[in-house]
Each structure stands twice: as structure tokens, then as C-alpha cells.
């Protein structure tokens, strides 16, 4: 709430955002870490790469940083409200990933939503 009233108010912890269960991001002062329902990850150095062109998640030297940010992500996300699956990527109980209720394979390209 303090940031809504004053954008310059000091923060005591990183910002966390979610786009459906298991699709979460944490933004610290210096980095943004994203983990998707299918387990894929993105990590960006927001100071050196503010437009997020270079994904650092696969580089071993960033493993400790990724883990320190990942512990801040939701552990028990709420399920979506029935009927609200538009533009939703989710990992379901059957172990498969779905996009807008259609099963997709790991590393599949998600079609552009028009």
C-alpha cells in the first residue's frame, strides 16, 4: 500500500506478481526472476539489461541468486475461478501444461493471443 500512495516510498521486500497458478515473478532492486508452471525460468539483471533481452537463468553463476529469489514465490497458489482460464498457462494435476485449456508440450511456442 505505501507504494500506491508514494512511488518513492521505501520497500522492505521484493515485488511479487502472478499470472495464474505457478506462473510467478519476483522483482528485487536489481533482478527479475520468473518461473513458469512448466518449470522454465527467466532471470534478468534489471540494472544492466532493463529491457530484459538477456535471460541469465541458464548460467550456473546465477544459481544462488535464483534460489534466493525463488523462495519468495508463492508456495500454495489459489486455483483459478472456474471459467476464468482465458490466457492462462497452468500445470494441472495430470502433470501436463495447458494453455487456454489446450494441452501443450514442454517448450512449445505459445500462440499469440489476438
* Predicted local confidence at residue 83, as pLDDT: 66
| 5-10: average pLDDT | 85
Pairing of strands 97-99, 15-18: unpaired
Percent of the chain with pLDDT over 90: 39
- Tell me: pLDDT of 26 over 70: yes
Contacts 24+ apart (CB under 8 A), 14-18: 14/69, 14/72, 16/72, 16/73, 16/74, 18/74, 18/77
* Model pLDDT, residue 8: 84
Reduced to 3 DSSP states, what percent helix, strand and coil does the chain have, rounded to the nearest 5? 15, 25, 65
Which domains are assigned to the chain? 2-77 (3.30.1120.10)
Secondary structure class of 3 (helix, strand, coil): helix
Rounded Cα–Cα distance for residues 3 and 93 (Å): 36
**CA 18 to each of CA 9, 21, 60, 113: distance values in angstroms, whole numbers, following the listed order:** 22, 7, 25, 18
Q: What's the chain's length in residues?
A: 114
Q: Is 63 helix (H, G, I), strand (E, B) or coil?
A: helix
What pLDDT, on a 0 to 100 scale, did the predictor assign at position 50?
Answer: 95
Q: Does residue 16 carry a pLDDT above 70?
A: yes
Rounded to an integer, the average pLDDT of 69-85 is 79
User: What mean pLDDT value characterizes the chain?
Assistant: 84
Task: Answer yes or no: pTM beyond 0.75.
Answer: no
Amino acid at each position: 500500500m505505501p507504494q500506491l500512495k508514494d512511488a518513492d516510498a521505501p520497500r522492505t521486500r521484493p515485488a511479487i506478481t502472478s499470472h495464474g497458478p505457478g506462473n510467478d515473478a519476483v522483482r528485487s532492486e536489481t533482478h527479475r526472476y520468473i518461473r513458469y508452471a512448466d518449470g522454465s525460468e527467466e532471470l534478468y539483471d534489471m540494472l544492466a539489461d532493463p529491457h530484459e533481452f538477456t535471460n541469465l537463468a541458464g548460467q550456473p553463476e546465477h544459481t544462488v541468486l535464483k534460489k534466493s529469489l525463488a523462495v519468495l514465490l508463492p508456495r500454495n497458489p489459489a486455483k483459478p475461478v472456474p471459467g476464468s482460464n482465458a490466457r492462462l498457462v497452468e500445470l494441472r494435476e495430470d502433470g501436463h501444461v495447458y494453455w487456454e485449456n489446450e494441452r501443450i508440450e514442454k517448450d512449445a511456442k505459445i500462440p499469440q493471443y489476438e
